[in-house]
């Protein structure tokens, strides 16, 4: 229970009739991209799908574009609730046994829903399926790929020490979301990671698909690229997740493995709080923009991975010196 399994998916044609999948799309001022986003869901080679879009007070014409889809989507509207509340609002009307996510500036690749449904069919114990993705620019041009390589025997520990999951690649059982009470609205930007921690803590199996299923668009205004404003929420999500891991028995007596895991969790929390401190200094004009951005990067997931690689390299050199 709870571990991530590797799975592959083929393009053998449309899947046979299966469970209803609810695709939830929070939307805010992405008129430039929202049509492409919705069309990528409508073009999927799987049925049945329902698309639930929650617009958060867009002022750029997004709502008019969405209304033009008529009954092909369910359009809900809120104002100022951000993503956690939008997802919970959508869950309130969603009818699907499975729930998938997509942000209004991204797009699904062909076969994205079908391969997830097939993974659940192949592994009835799976609680959450996720996959790899491509990075594209504002114009949709491919820039790189993000592929996951397992680093830990127990994925749940890797998850909380450095969440590798892109939320728009996730398909999750509705029962798993209900079990954790939906998305935590105290952390609207980090609500996805917080939810995955809680689902993992309760022992649900995570299945990784070795397949590109999404174009994640980088256009300069993504929430995920503004690390400092997310630090408090990531801190909350991390600590709540760690507490759930302990409460549900994932962490036992403090052996070497548990001490290593706890050290990584505390290091990650420290990086979040250090980056928040950097942000406050910048707001007070103590540091210039470039220095602050550098420090924020060092405190981000990317910075932690760089730090981990440096430690591994140092360990390798020390071993060679000892031989």
Strands 107-108 and 49-55: unpaired
Q: Report in angstroms the alpha-carbon separations of 238 from 43, 163, 226, 264, 310.
A: 36, 10, 18, 11, 23
Tens digit of pLDDT at every position of the chain (323 positions): 456 667 655 454 444 579 999 999 999 999 999 999 999 999 999 999 999 999 999 999 999 999 999 999 999 999 887 899 999 999 999 999 999 999 999 999 999 999 999 999 999 999 999 999 999 998 889 999 999 988 777 888 888 877 899 999 999 999 999 999 999 998 888 899 999 999 999 999 999 999 999 999 987 655 554 555 567 788 788 888 888 888 888 765 544 456 666 667 777 667 666 766 666 666 666 555 566 556 555 555 555 555 545 544 445 455 555 55
At the top level of CATH, the class of 4-219 is alpha beta
Q: In the chain, where are the structural domains located? A: 4-219, 229-322
Which one, of 112, 126, 124, lies nearest residue 176 by Cα?
A: 126
d(CA 212, CA 115): 11
């Amino acid at each position: 229970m709870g571990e991530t399994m590797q799975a592959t998916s083929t393009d053998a044609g449309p899947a046979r009739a299966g469970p209803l999948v609810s695709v939830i799309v929070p939307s805010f001022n992405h008129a430039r991209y929202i049509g492409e986003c919705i069309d990528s869901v409508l073009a999927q080679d799987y049925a049945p799908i329902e698309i639930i879009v929650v617009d958060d007070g867009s002022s750029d014409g997004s709502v008019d574009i969405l209304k033009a889809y008529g009954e092909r989507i369910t359009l809900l509207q809120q104002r100022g609730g951000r993503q956690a509340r939008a997802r919970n609002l959508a869950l309130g009307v969603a009818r699907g046994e499975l729930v998938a996510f997509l942000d209004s500036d991204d797009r699904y690749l062909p076969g994205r829903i079908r391969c997830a449904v097939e993974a659940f069919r192949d592994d009835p114990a799976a609680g959450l399926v996720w996959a790899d993705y491509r990075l594209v620019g504002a114009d949709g041009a491919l820039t790189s790929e993000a592929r996951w390589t397992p680093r830990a025997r127990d994925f749940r520990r890797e998850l909380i020490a450095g969440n590798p999951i892109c939320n728009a690649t996730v398909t999750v059982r509705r029962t798993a979301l209900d079990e954790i009470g939906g998305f935590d609205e105290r952390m609207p930007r980090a609500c996805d990671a917080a939810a995955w921690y809680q689902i993992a803590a309760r022992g649900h199996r995570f299945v990784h698909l070795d397949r590109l299923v999404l174009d994640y668009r980088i256009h300069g205004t993504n929430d995920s690229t503004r690390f400092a404003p997310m630090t408090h929420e990531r801190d909350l999500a991390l600590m709540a997740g760690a507490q759930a891991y302990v409460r549900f028995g994932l962490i036992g007596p403090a052996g070497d493995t548990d001490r290593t895991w706890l050290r990584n969790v505390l290091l990650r929390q420290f990086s979040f709080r250090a980056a928040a401190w950097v942000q406050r200094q910048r707001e007070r004009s103590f540091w210039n923009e470039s220095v602050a951005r550098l420090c924020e990067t060092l405190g981000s997931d990317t910075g932690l991975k760089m730090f981990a690689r440096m430690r591994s390299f140092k360990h390798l050199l020390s071993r060679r010196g000892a031989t």
